[in-house]
């Protein structure tokens, strides 16, 4: 079960980008055993809020990040991206930016393919997106080349890639490594419209989640809210208030 904290804050209307064609993609399918789309109802709620926000506060690029490994960021990112693309004309892309522990590979049936690091390292002119299923859902895996993440995300080539996906897709979701211990997540948080923090009920300590929130805010990130994975309706309201108490 997945629940959301401060869901009313995860509401921003997205500007529609120009209809730029996606001219290079490879068909891929999801693994049957992957936990994607098993409980889409909560993601539908999040989707509706993202689509019904007041004008002037556009959110089209969203970074999903946890405080520690195992928070379920990749599952959350894949579910949210999939629900946003389902039964609509919106084009959605998921970028795997977790070089330390790529999550996208856990969900797709595909041999190792070109991806983010290959684009930057080899200066590729075309972006090798994966098209997932029949919906307008695309993905870009980490890639096969090994790179220093700081070097990668500081590069002009990555800036151009981010600009390209902004122009080609209605929504861009980035699956990032834990914010505590991976400075590249803070770098990425400053380059997107907003950030969603993912925590795991019964696993993520409240003080760790609070530290992650404060770290993101200190870096200038626009925190929309928190997604709580594996919620069992037993988390006291006082913890919610403590987590979101403004300093």
Span 175-193, average pLDDT: 93
Whether residue 207 is predicted with pLDDT greater than 90 in this model: the reply is: no
What pLDDT, on a 0 to 100 scale, did the predictor assign at position 96? 94
Span 105-133, average pLDDT: 77
Q: Strand 171-175 to strand 108-109: parallel, antiparallel, or no bridges (unpaired)?
A: unpaired
List the one residue out of 60, 33, 31, 28 whose CA is nearest residue 139. 28
Neighbouring CB atoms inside 10 A of 27's CB total: 9
Q: First CA to last CA across the chain, in angstroms?
A: 30
What pLDDT, on a 0 to 100 scale, did the predictor assign at position 59? 85
Contacts of 196 (CB under 8 A, 6+ apart): 10, 62, 63, 64, 65, 76, 223, 224, 225, 226, 227
Span 192-205, average pLDDT: 83
Span 54-76, average pLDDT: 85
Rounded Cα distance between 60 and 192, Å, is 8
Q: Comparing 72-76, 214-218, 233-237, which segment has the lowest mean pLDDT?
A: 233-237
Whether residue 101 is predicted with pLDDT greater than 80 in this model: the reply is: yes
Q: Comparing 29-38, 196-205, 216-225, which segment has the lowest mean pLDDT?
A: 29-38
Span 192-215, average pLDDT: 84
Question: What are the beta bridge partners of residue 30?
Answer: 108
Locate the domains of the chain by residue range: 2-243
Residue 10 pLDDT level (bands cut at 50, 70, 90): very low
CATH number given to 2-243: 3.40.50.300
pLDDT, tens digit, 9 for 90 and up, residues 132-153: 876 788 999 998 888 899 999 9
What pLDDT, on a 0 to 100 scale, did the predictor assign at position 166? 92
Residue 165 pLDDT level (bands cut at 50, 70, 90): very high
What pLDDT, on a 0 to 100 scale, did the predictor assign at position 212? 87
**pTM (2 decimals)?**
0.79
List the one residue out of 97, 4, 94, 92 whose CA is nearest residue 43. 4
């Amino acid at each position: 079960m997945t629940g959301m904290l401060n869901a009313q804050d995860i509401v921003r209307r997205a500007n529609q980008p120009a209809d730029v064609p996606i001219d290079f993609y490879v068909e891929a399918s999801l693994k049957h055993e992957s936990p994607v789309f098993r409980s889409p109802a909560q993601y539908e709620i999040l989707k509706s809020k993202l689509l019904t926000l007041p004008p002037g506060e556009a959110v089209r690029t969203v970074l999903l990040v946890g405080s520690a490994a195992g928070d379920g960021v990749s599952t959350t990112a894949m579910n949210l991206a999939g629900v946003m693309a389902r039964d609509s004309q919106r084009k959605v892309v998921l970028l795997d930016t977790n070089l330390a522990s790529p999550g996208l590979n856990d969900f797709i049936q595909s041999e190792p393919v070109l991806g983010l690091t290959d684009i930057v390292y080899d200066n590729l002119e075309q972006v090798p997106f994966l098209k997932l299923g029949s919906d307008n859902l695309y993905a870009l895996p980490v890639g096969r080349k090994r790179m220093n993440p700081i070097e990668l995300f500081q590069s002009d080539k990555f800036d151009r890639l981010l600009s390209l996906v902004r122009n080609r897709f209605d929504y861009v979701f980035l699956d990032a490594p834990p914010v505590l211990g991976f400075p590249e997540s803070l770098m990425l948080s400053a380059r997107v419209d907003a950030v969603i923090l993912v925590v795991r009920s019964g696993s993520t300590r409240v003080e760790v989640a609070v530290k992650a929130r404060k770290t993101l805010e200190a870096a200038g990130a626009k925190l929309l809210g928190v997604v709580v994975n594996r919620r069992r309706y037993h988390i006291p309201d006082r913890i919610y208030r403590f987590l979101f108490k403004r300093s």
